[in-house]
Structure 1
């Protein structure tokens, strides 16, 4: 497999480490990075390019986006148009209805598909499967330590370091959450796309000094089954806003394209 990866941040480095530890290092890896990151990226042993066109021209079998919302516009859309299957980690970018349409149309015209991994949560397969049965409600709560919300609009609403009890600072729908908290609402967007859509998926965000992990909770009621999920994701050591489970979810998508049996 020739794997293309957009970005060389925490998720990319951890992804390459997981693949290596599982004996699943691709035969060829091409990284698309900013010029300032090129030297560090080359130390990984991968091929390095600094322009989207160069990544596409390299001819990867699969591209994984690990670089934020702008990368979906700048690289994923043209890659899909070129017929390259893409795994998108920054799922919250699709809260932008115009971009969601552009990605869908690019995949259709390119005769390929865009894959949205489950990321930090589980049960997305069941949620998507229940959709034809009629989903009545999806309610998601994101509960994180106060400092995990640093650098977000929550800082203007709460004195994060001084919190002594849980504080709910956002209540709304998944589109509002994903647009206002783009680095923290990928789970909300994933649930919305798998289930009721952005407007009907309810979201709460909580800064909770009593927890040390990123906690994802959601409840689904539908015509075929009702269920609830509670996941205590361990934060990445390099970025507390990212759950380690996200890295393993993306690694699974890559390995499922290399293994004889995919699950």
Structure 2
């Protein structure tokens, strides 16, 4: 399968390294702005050049702005688009644009990321889902350089503290580097407004912990996932890029689960 990658940061580099070891997958192009110092013959300067390589699947791992700028064109070109920056879909206008483009072109695909249980949640939605609540717990370092710095004193905190309680739309838009999982949860379940979110800073946290409870006519689902963070970026759980690898292998027909 021929794929292309938008983004060459921590997740993009990790993904490319993993996929280069898979014989049945070819990375045709990598779109990065600005061009990286370690430029190679797969690096392209614009989206048109990336799409000219005719990838079957394009993987976006460059942030909310990149999805907004490139997503619609990619889908209309007929390529499937696997999204990392799923939190960007909390913008209703962008979500509608991408849904419309997907109807006329490729499919919009969302990986589970660092959160387990989304398949069960989607099933529960069909069976009768009434409430979904999520708690994200991370260390002070994982919340640095985010709006959390204006909500709680990250340097002096000594115990676990909830600094934001809101709906999934608010969380995803305010914390684009931290809260992509809540957007995936909302899309799999009850939507952005009906998904409740609590964000916690915990100086004792060892990795990033994601938990949710879903209740309804079907019964109850409770999941907790604690993931080690990427060495290059403590805001990102290690399971997030591996979720991309799994989704791509599944799309290529290498995994059927």
Q: Report if the CA contact (8 A) 2:87-2:184 is conserved.
A: yes
Where do 4+ consecutive residues of structure 1 move more than 4 Å?
none
Q: Which structure 2 residue ranges, 5 or more long, are not aligned?
A: none
Computed over aligned residues only, the root mean square deviation of the Cα atoms, in angstroms, reads: 1.4
In the other structure, the counterpart of 2:26 is 27
Q: How big is each residue's C-alpha offset from its partner over 1:55-110, in whole Å with a ceiling of 9 and x where there is no partner?
A: 11221111000000111121111010111101000000000000000000001011
Is 1:223–2:217 an aligned residue pair? Answer: yes
In the other structure, the counterpart of 2:196 is 202
Q: Which structure 1 residue ranges, 5 or more long, are not aligned?
A: none
Q: Report if the CA contact (8 A) 1:52-1:74 is conserved.
A: no
In the other structure, the counterpart of 2:62 is 67
Q: Would the alpha carbon gap of residues 91 and 28 (structure 1) be closer, same or farther in structure 2, given more than 3 Å must change?
A: closer
Tell me the CA shift for residue 260 of structure 1. Answer: 4.7
How does the TM-score come out when normalised to structure 2? Answer: 0.96
Count of aligned pairs between the two proteins: 257
SS at the partner of 1:34?
A: coil
Q: Report if the CA contact (8 A) 1:24-1:255 is conserved.
A: no
In the other structure, the counterpart of 2:179 is 185
In the other structure, the counterpart of 1:81 is 76
How many angstroms apart in 2 are the aligned matches of 1:138 and 1:242? 23
In the other structure, the counterpart of 2:248 is 254
How many angstroms apart in 2 are the aligned matches of 1:252 and 1:208? 30
Tell me the CA shift for residue 173 of structure 1. Answer: 0.2
Q: Would the alpha carbon gap of residues 166 and 126 (structure 1) be closer, same or farther in structure 2, given more than 3 Å must change?
A: same
How many angstroms apart in 1 are the aligned matches of 2:24 and 2:233? 24
Is 1:93–2:93 an aligned residue pair? Answer: no
Q: Report if the CA contact (8 A) 2:75-2:107 is conserved.
A: yes
How does the TM-score come out when normalised to structure 1? Answer: 0.94
SS at the partner of 1:92?
A: helix
Residues 137-176 of structure 1 mapped to structure 2, 5 A cutoff: 137-176=131-170
Is 1:123–2:122 an aligned residue pair? Answer: no
In the other structure, the counterpart of 1:5 is 5
